[in-house]
A and B are shown apart, each in its own frame.
Chain A
Amino acid sequence: SQTIHQWPATLVQPVGSPLSLECTVEGTSNPNLYWYRQAAGRGLQLLFYSVGIGQISSEVPQNLSASRPQDRQFILSSKKLLLSDSGFYLCAWSGGGNTIYFGEGSWLTVV
């Protein structure tokens, strides 16, 4: 069966510091991968999606970037965090169809 792992689970970072959140999927090959953000416990906003290694599409202009160095690895990064980057970040995958499956999420607090 397929599983998705995301880490770290919680992170407290000062303003201006870098960020790296990692996500890996097991049990499948060539998945579509997604990063969503959830602010204030409500509403999921799509940030990035990837259909293959090195292929990243961004849906909203922002202070964040994403990379996919391996088939089942998706990384969310920032060079300098802003207070507004605080939130709950969710990695998700799909097998190419519309059904997506989420990881457990990473809580980011920028102080």
Chain B
Amino acid sequence: GENVEQHPSTLSVQEGDSAVIKCTYSDSASNYFPWYKQELGKGPQLIIDIRSNVGEKKDQRIAVTLNKTAKHFSLHITETQPEDSAVYFCAAPWDGGTSYGKLTFGQGTILTVHP
């Protein structure tokens, strides 16, 4: 099955700075890479995802980049705001994408944005 490593485990930035979280995966057949944001006491919310046929996807202040050769993908948050503070998870398909919806998650990154 897929193995996903996520770094860093904690990230502290000043408001207005950028934040970058990186994940590596092991299965070269994986074709779908979502990012989730989890606020305290709530379920994870999908914030952006990317498929293997593109190298970058952007949605306002959030972007995800994918390097298939190196088998890593990253979440970029620009102009961070205090409300961006949360735990962020990356994920990849359990078995390269043949069993839809079964995801392997990274261990999460606690992002703190200081005002």
- A100 and B43 in contact (CB under 8 A), knowing A42-B87, A42-B107? no
Chain B 33-73, CB within 8 Å of chain A: the 1/0 string? 01010000111111001000000000000000000000000
Residues of A within 8 A of B25 (CB): none
Would A98 and B89 count as touching, CB distance under 8 A?
no
- A98 and B105 in contact (CB under 8 A), knowing A46-B94, A105-B43? no
Q: How far is the CA of A41 from the CA of B87 in the complex (A)?
A: 9
Would A104 and B34 count as touching, CB distance under 8 A?
no
Would A43 and B43 count as touching, CB distance under 8 A?
no
Would B108 and A42 count as touching, CB distance under 8 A?
yes
Binding stretch for chain A, among B11-19, B75-83, B95-103: B95-103
Q: Which residues of B contact A (CB under 8 A)?
A: 32, 34, 36, 41-46, 49, 87, 89, 91, 93-94, 97, 100-105, 107-108
Residues of B within 8 A of A101 (CB): 46
Interface size class of A (residues with CB under 8 A): 20 to 34
Give, as a whole number of angstroms, the nearest-CB distance from B97 to chain A: 6
A74 within 8 A of B: no
- A104 and B87 in contact (CB under 8 A), knowing A32-B100, A32-B101, A94-B100? no
Chain A 97-108, CB within 8 Å of chain B: the 1/0 string? 111111111010
Residues of A within 8 A of B94 (CB): 46
Q: How far is the CA of A94 from the CA of B93 in the complex (A)?
A: 13
